[in-house]
A and B are shown apart, each in its own frame.
Chain A
């Protein structure tokens, strides 16, 4: 029995983020806090964002969920930190397109580890896991 198709989903870098999440925790002070969950499966994330002068200065997350949702959250915080809000939102859009299996042109934006999640597009039931953190980020910066 081959696990080929599973390997396309569970790439090493995803597992690394799952096991060693970056930016896990909370931000002190008056950070923006967004709680979001996926009611169909119970995944939940709490995202802390520090947005100043149109820039995401810091981002941390906490939560519970599967390897896809938690690794995606870890990658997202890594990706948006230091980015301008409009760039963070553009990345989120790129990410959604990637999940829909569309060809994407990231232009000047470095996707980095995020590209490892490309395989999720082939697992429709798991797309919502991957997009949870990005949706939380979108809601967070819109609060500002």
Chain B
């Protein structure tokens, strides 16, 4: 894989920011979109724009074919058994909330437990806090090792007959930790608990095979994997989705509407109330084609190589602390702090050199407390990043350290 030729497909990267060529290292927040995705969305609006699953006219048929075609691409991308298991949502957050509202509220009782991890994004914490409050169940957390990996001994001990739901991230958006999902699914299934995987950071970087992982739900977003914002996926096993009630009611999701009662469409449409995110789904389909052309194995190898390089180079900077596990246990995320410099100040200094990193709590306040940090800076990489970007970052960090060293 040649990141340089891939870069050319991302017109946004070809610009100067504050007088310097843009170095974009914030792909965990959102990735950029290649020409193929921009063109697919544009072509849909220019040529095919119409509502789906209604009407008999030609444009309507074309829009429906493209929308449902995108669903097939997603199904193959994650190796779901059928398109019935692939629900379009607004993003990972909506996907998790759908399960927490529908499945969790119908299946949890007082005494039951939901277990999550301290490394979850807020979107995989709060829906469960709300679900246990509504049902009288209990929320628990697995323990982490000091390096930010899951303590599997604690996982084994914690999952018991009272455990009904285990929800955890595939890849931590802060530490980059890749969790041993398959092993956890096996442990949970032995106790008849279902497992929801937050794949927002997993699906863009790792090959995902939901049948092999055997998880019950897998949620991810289009915009972190070269697709548009506002589109995401809820994958669920068909037998679970069949028994779940929809959470949004209205057009598109109904079968028969009577005066006082209604029936729902079959899967997956019963969860897609209202006019769906047609252009978003088509854009996501194009993003999947783009990623497949490179190959997910290639992407994983590229990420790994770049992460190794970034960690090696960043360690050369004295007074820079890196959080999380060793490079081989993490995805393309490096979270850090420069001693004595607040991460916002670091991010502003880097921005003045055209380098985009994230600073703050990364929507993971409990993890920040676990790290004993109020905030951190984070560099995250993707298909279009090169070692040159890392060199720019390292030189930017060195200058930042010097600058604040001098003004203090």
A residues with CB within 8 A of B: 1, 3, 5-6, 9-10, 12, 15, 18-19, 40-44, 64-68, 123, 125-126, 129
Contact = CB atoms under 8 A, between A and B. Distances in A.
17 contacts: A6-B348, A6-B403, A9-B348, A10-B403, A10-B404, A10-B407, A12-B407, A15-B407, A15-B408, A40-B360, A41-B359, A41-B360, A42-B365, A42-B374, A65-B374, A66-B345, A126-B348
Interface residues of B, number: 22
Closest CB pairs A-B (n = 7): A66-B344, A66-B342, A42-B361, A41-B360, A42-B375, A15-B407, A64-B374
B403 A3 contact: yes
Contacts of A66: 342-345
A18 B345 CA distance: 12
A67 to B, nearest CB: 5
Interface in B306-341: none
B349 interface: yes
Contacts of A41: 344, 359-361, 375
B353 interface: yes
A141 B142 CA distance: 44
Contacts, number: 56
A65 B407 contact: no
Contacts of B360: 40-42
Contacts of A3: 349, 352, 399, 403
A125 B360 CA distance: 12
Contacts of B361: 41-42
A6 B368 contact: no
A129 B359 CA distance: 13
Contacts of B368: 42
A19 B353 contact: no
B344 A68 contact: yes
Given A41-B359, A42-B375, A66-B342, A6 B408 contact: no
A125 B348 contact: yes
B211 interface: no
B408 A126 contact: no
Nearest to A2: B19
A42 B344 CA distance: 10
A11 to B, nearest CB: 9
Contacts of A12: 407
Nearest to A19: B408
Contacts of B408: 15, 18-19
Given A6-B348, A41-B344, A65-B342, A1 B18 contact: no
Nearest to A125: B348
Interface in B383-408: 399, 403-404, 407-408
B19 to A, nearest CB: 8
A6 B20 CA distance: 14
Nearest to A11: B407
B2 to A, nearest CB: 29
Contacts of B374: 42-44, 64-65
Counting chain A CB atoms within 10 Å of each CB, the highest count among B20, B365, B404, B407 belongs to B407
A138 to B, nearest CB: 23
Given A19-B408, A66-B342, A123 B348 contact: yes
Nearest to A129: B344
A9 B352 CA distance: 11
B376 to A, nearest CB: 9
Given A1-B399, A3-B352, 7 more contacts: A5-B352, A10-B403, A15-B408, A19-B408, A42-B365, A42-B374, A43-B374
